[in-house]
Structure 1
Amino acid sequence: MAAGLCPCWALLGGRRGALRALVRPARGLAAAKETHFGFQTVSEEEKGEKVYQVFENVAKKYDLMNDSMSLGIHRLWKDILMHKMNPSPGTLLLDVAGGTGDIAFRFINYVRSIRERQLQRKLKHHQNLSWQEIADSYQEEAVKPLGDSQVVVCDINKEMLKVGRQKAQHLGYSEGLSWVVGNAEELPFDDNKFDVYTIAFGIRNVTHIDLALQEAYRVLKPGGRFLCLEFSQVNNPLLSRLYDLYSFQIIPVLGEIIAGDWKSYQYLVESIRRFPPQEEFKAMIEDAGFLKVDYQNLTSGIVAIHSGFKL
């Protein structure tokens, strides 16, 4: 339980924790319940294992395949997500299913940029500062380039996190960044902890989307924001037909050529088609307790950014 909560919240959190503990064995007993893995029907337990194997297989080629499949447009989609978030210095971000670090690195760059602009404005509006005062300001910026901002990357797949850590080391990201193995359906964090929760191209792979949304709500602070970037339903009939042709005829072939893995990318295409359309997913987010829920279609609905607040 997060520090500073009043006893009534602590009691509620305790009851919820106890309730979750009681529910978990029941979920385990119901492991044989059927769900979908792409277009296949499998048990829930089997889906979790298969999804884990998919991302373990593709982790090393994940970024290259994203560029190849989307012609690099996924980078623009993620940039738009970050601008929509518009984090300020001091923001605590949880990025779920973000193993390779794309959202985390953008967050760090965005906050650094804001901090630099703030410093420049401060110095510009204080023309009578001494050289020492200016030097001290830049020294403080160098020591704490993110201020108190932090991003926690949480992913269930250890191989994806390994790739992310290697990228962070190569690109020089260390300040304000941490990596945690965790399940989106049962996050290893206290209640009311984060300012923003993001999940990009990950929620469709979760076995119980409703549980993942409930966990997102739980770990966000009151006033916190949920942001999800995910493939969605194309709203242009002609583009939809072309998109289907490209998805089923080209993407698995790219997967075989680039990553040596046809089946994993066949699943990824199928999982996109099984994901709820925009209005249905919006209703699921609202059912989890979020308010002011809306979405923004990008590239004619190939992807959408869903947003909601814990108020």
Structure 2
Amino acid sequence: MRSKDGQQRRFSAGDIASFGQRDIPAGEKAGMVRGVFTSVARNYDLMNDLMSAGVHRLWKDRMIAALRPRPGMSVLDVAGGTGDIAFRILDRTHHRANVFVCDITEDMLRVGRDRSIDRGLVDGLAWVCGDAQSLPVASRSVDAFTIAFGLRNVTHIEKALGEAYRVLRPGGRFLCLEFSQVVLPALSELYDVYSYAVLPRLGQLVARDRESYQYLVESIRRFPPQEDLAGLMRDAGFGQVGYTNYSGGIAALHSGWRL
């Protein structure tokens, strides 16, 4: 990148972030991610069903089963704008938990609020627009932190993990459901073909937005594999870190505790 005086500018590692296959100035990523999800918000849930043949629902159900939410629990669900995780938590606790949904994209939150009204869910649910790297949440204030298919979109994963650790009470649990590295060679090849050849085209046909779904496919490939993410969680302070692969590693659920 060149500065205004025409000189070549070099970025340090902290100045660079990935956006799909590209490296960009870190300060630009949040706005670009917000633009992607503003574009796809209205079709986001439909596209998830089409892209995964509905399997994302099973992964999310397993995430909630692992969380084992209980009545009275306070949960911060980050990057959960359309409400999929929040609604499952409330259903599991018979609407007796407190769930705070935080998302960087206001349009995603609008979709979630509309869905909650349609479901008659008002009590125990709050919607907040905020960045995972600087959460508008008090330290040591929640019992659990969940994030599903959102961590790969933050600018600096280490900062988001640090924030997750900060807001959890001692004994609180962190759960991250995210696309990951396929561990079966034959499945990996098929998944690559499907991802790059089919998903962007599906985005064009259904959401009229090929570029956003091209980014989403590419962002999966730039996300740290399972063991690397587990290491980042330990570096952030989490204990008893582990993960479970779903569908041969297409997705993985990472878990850690603030001890």
TM-score (norm: length of structure 2):
0.94
- Secondary structure of residue in 2 paired with 1:60: helix
Note if 1:244 corresponds to 2:226: no
The equivalent residue for 1:202 is 150
Pairing of 1:75-114 with structure 2 (within 5 A): 75-112=57-94
Which residue identity lines up with residue 181 of structure 1 in the other structure? C
2:9 is the alignment partner of 1:61: no
Letter in 2 for 1:84: A
Alignment of 1:10-25 (within 5 A): none
* Residue 172 (str. 1) matches residue 154 (str. 2): no
Match of 1:309 in 2: 257
1:80 Cα deviation from its structure 2 partner: 0.2
Q: Which runs of 4+ in 1 moved over 4 A?
A: none
Determine helix, strand or coil for the equivalent of 1:99.
coil
Whether the 8 Å contact between 2:82 and 2:115 is mirrored in structure 1 is yes
Give the letter aligned to residue 64 of structure 1.
L
In 2, Cα distance between the equivalents of 1:221 and 1:276?
26
SS where residue 171 of structure 2 aligns? strand
Deviation at 1:34, TM superposition (A): 2.2
Q: Distance in 2 between matches of 1:156 and 1:50?
A: 11
Letter in 2 for 1:290: F
Deviation per CA, 1:59-99: give whole Å up to 9, x if none: 00000000000000000000000000001111100000000
Residue number in structure 1 paired with 2:6: none
1:1-311 equivalences in 2 (<5 Å):
33-112=15-94, 145-146=95-96, 149-311=97-259
1:185 is paired with a residue whose SS is coil
Aligned residues: 249
More helix by percentage: 1
Q: Distance in 1 between matches of 2:224 and 2:243?
A: 13
Unaligned residue ranges in structure 1 (runs of 5+): 1-29, 113-144
Q: Is the CA contact 1:184–1:206 (under 8 Å) kept in the aligned structure 2?
A: yes
| Partner Cα separation in structure 2 for residue 31 and residue 183 of structure 1 | 21
Superposition RMSD in Å: 1.4
Give the letter aligned to residue 61 of structure 2: D
Q: Aligned partners of 1:180 and 1:49: how far apart in 2?
A: 17
CA distance in 2, matches of 1:295, 1:34: 28
Larger radius of gyration: 1
2:251 and 2:65 mapped to 1: Cα distance?
Answer: 16
Cα pair 1:35 1:42 within 8 Å, conserved? yes
Runs of at least 5 residues in structure 2 that lack an aligned partner in the other structure: 1-11
Structure 1: how far apart are the matches of 2:16 and 2:152? 16
Instruction: For 1:252, give the aligned amino acid.
Output: P
